[in-house]
Amino acid sequence: MLLNVQRIVEEKFITLLRSCKTCERLHQIQAQIVTNGLEHNDFVAPSSIAACSRLKRMHHARKLFDKIPQPNTATWNAMFRGYSQNEHYRDAVLLFRELNRAAALPNCFTFPMIIKSCVKLKDVIEGEEVHCCAVKRGFKSNSFVATSLIDMYSIKGLIEDAYKVFGEMRERNVVVWTAIINGYIACGDVASGRRLFDLAPERDVVMWSIVISGYIELKNMVVARELFDKMPNRDTMSWNAMLNGYAANGDVELFEKLFGEMPERNVYSWNGLIGGYVKNGLFSDALESFKRMLVEGHVVPNDFTLVAVLSACSRLGALDMGKWVHVYAESIGYKGNMFVGNALIDMYAKCGVIENAVVVFNGLDRKDIISWNTIINGLAIHGHAPDALSMFDRMKSEGEEPDGITFVGILSACTHMGLVKDGFLYFKSMVDHYSIVPQIEHYGCMVDLLGRAGLLDKALSFIRNMPMEPDAVIWAALLGACRIYKNVEIAELALQKLIELEPKNPANFVMLSNIYKDLGRWEDVARLKIAMRDTGFRKLPGCSVIECNDSVVEFYSLDERHSETESIYRILKGLTMLLRSHGYVPNLTDVT
């Protein structure tokens, strides 16, 4: 009878602890537990620790745990689970060592948690010790333990060790088979994964999907499709895998068709469609699909959706749509979200509203290297070079380590301000302070920096001393600078290099031709025109886009495709006249 009463009290505390949402409430409950003398109880203690873990109070949990003279296995496990859920993997592993010294025994729940912590810590040596311990305790054939070991070894590329775990099991279920197949595929050996798949005594939807994804990874959509058509039960996830596969391989028609055929669509499916359009440069289609998703999708967009849509907005310069997405994102709970925020910063910067980009940046809950790089680059390209440089100082003072891309922004800020000396100091500091090896794009920035400052000879000798072969971008930067400073000699040299590197790019000829024009060397202009014609390639006409009534319209020079061409040109003519009457003289030098 007395025992029954105790069980009821224990149960009451366990229920209270499970529903506990605040630290204050937790302390009240724990005080009552102590009053009832149950703080070391085998059933109550694990729940108490789990409640601390949910509230991210592992330090407090540890204090409770350390006071228990002989914690049972469930209590130890509650500590391990708490540490791994709160990403304190090192603590989990250290505590596991203490478990080995204590009287309690680990069970089949313990090992997967500790092995996963070793994976997170990238500590295979420790993982191997845990593996030995699991074998000693007789868990060699436990499917949960084996699955985590197979994962651990295959993530590290040690597929033979993974296979050994698999091979030494007495019995294997479909999850273990899937783990080893996944291991081979993750190690790049799809053929072995496929052989095991063909041998497997049982195949479920997860196993099929993993093998299909392996072929998608190899860009072998034909075999992926064959398997997809053969698999007995397709779920939404497998449909989505195929959708993303076609999108990643640039097959727009097939992913559109597949999306149309899907029996069910979740948010991942819509993200696959929208992201697929973005990946393939079809930004207007991405925005149209997003609108369709909102109307007929029956799913709420998530951060991924918003990022894809915002990146389409950036590429199109669709500022109004971008602003709408910003308001919408905040209304569905993504205010301050880093992923969405980074995309918003980029969108505002690319659409020319750098002030809004700064506001979003300052409102982020947490910032990563991409947040810093996006804002620094945004400020630099908007001519706010001093702000870009002070943002760089702020970045360092807030403990973020710059990477190669940060320096692209920094060097372009220096270029904008003509800070040649500072540019060189920053360039040197990459190696000296941050161990970043400058890549060709950094050399390109330096050529641009010297070229725009008019130091063409220095730019040329800088190119000649580069540790790698200069590419077309480098020579084009030099050629561009030659245009500004009308230096024909170096321009001709740069063009010669450009023709070798990109014989099919007529833009290079146009650039030199413009320099001849500037100098009135019309014979050379004509000669170049013939040389350009001989390449057989025409320069693609420049294209502009404008956001108009909720959609984005593109137009070329002298374009007459729009249904309202006549009134557009009438208004344009009116505007030009108005500008001229105010003394504006257009620069027609580059109009060919």
Partner DNA sequence: TTAGGGTTAG
Q: Cα dist. 142→42, 52, 178, 180 in Å?
A: 25, 30, 15, 15
Q: Is 440 near DNA (CB under 7 A)?
A: no
Q: What are phi and psi of 169, to 5 degrees?
A: -80, 145
Q: Is 438 near DNA (CB under 7 A)?
A: no
Among 65, 96, 163, 268, binds DNA (CB under 7 A): 268
Burial 504-541 (b: 16+ CB within 10 A, else e): ebbebbebbbbbbbeeeeeebbeebeeebeeeeeeeee
580 Cα distance to chain centroid: 48
- Stretch near DNA under the rule CB under 7 A, chosen from 84-92, 157-165, 299-307, 472-480: 299-307
Helices (H) and strands (E) in the chain, counts: 33, 2
- Contacting DNA within 123-152 (CB under 7 A): 143-144, 147-148, 151
Q: Cα dist. 411→414, 463, 481 in Å?
A: 5, 16, 16
- Stretch near DNA under the rule CB under 7 A, chosen from 58-66, 237-245, 282-290, 475-483: 237-245
Indicate the DSSP class of residue 401.
Answer: P
In angstroms, the first-to-last Cα distance of the chain is 100
- Contacting DNA within 46-75 (CB under 7 A): 73-74
Q: Is 179 near DNA (CB under 7 A)?
A: yes
Q: Is 10 near DNA (CB under 7 A)?
A: no
Q: Is 304 near DNA (CB under 7 A)?
A: yes
Q: Is 9 near DNA (CB under 7 A)?
A: no
Q: Is 43 near DNA (CB under 7 A)?
A: no
Among 240, 289, 508, 513, binds DNA (CB under 7 A): 240
Among 71, 272, 301, 322, binds DNA (CB under 7 A): 272
- Contacting DNA within 71-100 (CB under 7 A): 73-74, 77-78, 81
Residue of 105, 174, 187 lying closest to 146 (CA atoms): 174
Among 16, 17, 52, 241, binds DNA (CB under 7 A): 241
Among 206, 262, 440, 531, binds DNA (CB under 7 A): 206
- Give 178 or 487: the residue with its C-beta nearer to DNA: 178
Report DSSP letters for 197-264, one per residue. HHH-S---HHHHHHHHHHHHHTT-HHHHHHHHHH-S---HHHHHHHHHHHHHTT-HHHHHHHHHH-S-
Residue 568 CB contacts under 8 Å (≥ 6 apart), including other chains? 562
Q: Identify the residue whose tokens are 């003394």.
A: 583
∠ Cα 531 537 540 (to 5°): 120
Q: Is 370 near DNA (CB under 7 A)?
A: yes
Among 244, 289, 356, 487, binds DNA (CB under 7 A): 244
Q: Is 275 near DNA (CB under 7 A)?
A: yes
Distance CA 280, CA 257 (A): 16
Cβ atoms of 338 and 305 closer than 8 Å: no
Among 86, 117, 209, 513, binds DNA (CB under 7 A): 209
Cβ atoms of 345 and 357 closer than 8 Å: yes
CB of 187 to DNA, least distance (A): 14
Q: Is 412 near DNA (CB under 7 A)?
A: no
CB of 143 to DNA, least distance (A): 3
Distance CA 516, CA 510 (A): 10
CB of 374 to DNA, least distance (A): 4
Indicate the DSSP class of residue 551.
Answer: E
- Give 9 or 175: the residue with its C-beta nearer to DNA: 175
- Give 174 or 501: the residue with its C-beta nearer to DNA: 174
- Contacting DNA within 310-339 (CB under 7 A): 311, 314, 338-339
CB of 368 to DNA, least distance (A): 6
Among 159, 405, 436, 446, binds DNA (CB under 7 A): 405
Cβ atoms of 372 and 366 closer than 8 Å: no
3-state helix, strand, coil in the chain (%, to 5): 70, 0, 30
CB of 349 to DNA, least distance (A): 8
Among 84, 86, 154, 182, binds DNA (CB under 7 A): 182
Q: Is 210 near DNA (CB under 7 A)?
A: yes
CB of 94 to DNA, least distance (A): 19
Q: Is 479 exposed, middle or buried (0-12, 13-18, 19+ CB in 10 A)?
A: buried
- Give 47 or 487: the residue with its C-beta nearer to DNA: 47
Q: Is 235 near DNA (CB under 7 A)?
A: yes
Residue 280 CB contacts under 8 Å (≥ 6 apart), including other chains? 247, 250, 252
Q: Is 109 near DNA (CB under 7 A)?
A: yes
CB of 210 to DNA, least distance (A): 5
CA 238, 242, 244, 248 dihedral sign is positive
- Give 220 or 236: the residue with its C-beta nearer to DNA: 236
Distance CA 501, CA 483 (A): 20
CB of 182 to DNA, least distance (A): 6
- Stretch near DNA under the rule CB under 7 A, chosen from 57-65, 104-112, 120-128, 422-430: 104-112
- Using CB under 7 A as the criterion, which residues of the chain lie in contact with DNA when the complex forms? 73-74, 77-78, 81, 107-109, 112, 143-144, 147-148, 151, 173-176, 178-179, 182, 204-207, 209-210, 213, 235-238, 240-241, 244, 266-269, 271-272, 275, 302-304, 307, 311, 314, 338-340, 342-343, 346, 368-370, 373-374, 377, 403-406
